[in-house]
Structure 1
Amino acid sequence: MAHADIPHFCNDLGVTVIEVGSKEFMCIGAKPPFDHPHIYCDLGDDTEIVCPYCSTLYRYNAALAAGEAKPEGCVWHGADAPSAAA
């Protein structure tokens, strides 16, 4: 399981691209109970990555804070995700 400081993103909205402010994160697909296995994504020096499980394209946006996403509804704060206060 990932450390609590790694943000988790979901795609319940069914968007093609999610912009994120983190270079390392977890993709969970849809929110539980319809989530897929939580996939660790590491952009490294890249600016885009495709989740190999759900094919969501994640694009790094340096204007966003770590743990933020556009659209906003794509951040997950569930039991395994870091809390909003963290």
Structure 2
Amino acid sequence: MAGHTIPHFQNDDGHAMIEIGVKEFMCVGASSPYDHPHIFIDMGDDNEKVCSYCSTLYRYNHSLKATQTNPAGCTFIVHAA
């Protein structure tokens, strides 16, 4: 399976806000089986967006790399079966 070209983020710990280093990304909710439909979110000119499924507030932080989050550990990683 090829890696994601668009970063995917999850919120297993129920953070109210997650800082990310990109403005276009996918939100998956929490890890399976508690995930929601994986949706594409584009911040456009804004610096923050709320996921319409899980209500996580994502805030753009230009000092983070594409797969970094604050708090750490919110990047969704596909594990091979």
TM-score, with structure 2 as normaliser: 0.89
Report the AA paired with residue 49 of structure 2: I
Report the AA paired with residue 45 of structure 2: D
Report the AA paired with residue 10 of structure 1: Q
Give the number of equivalent residue pairs. 77
CA contact (8 A) 1:19 1:61 kept: yes
TM-score, with structure 1 as normaliser: 0.84
Report the AA paired with residue 58 of structure 1: Y
Report the Cα offset of residue 46 of structure 1: 0.5
Q: Stretches of 4+ moved more than 3 A in 1? A: none
Structure 1: 5+ residue stretches without partners? 80-86
Deviation track 1:31-76 (CA, whole Å, cap 9, x = no partner) reads 1121100010001110000000110000000010112111111111
The reply to whether residue 54 of structure 1 matches residue 54 of structure 2 is yes
The worse-fitting range, judged by mean Cα deviation, of 68-77 and 57-66 is 68-77
Q: Which residue of 2 aligns with 1:73?
A: 73
The reply to whether residue 41 of structure 1 matches residue 36 of structure 2 is no
Report the AA paired with residue 67 of structure 2: G
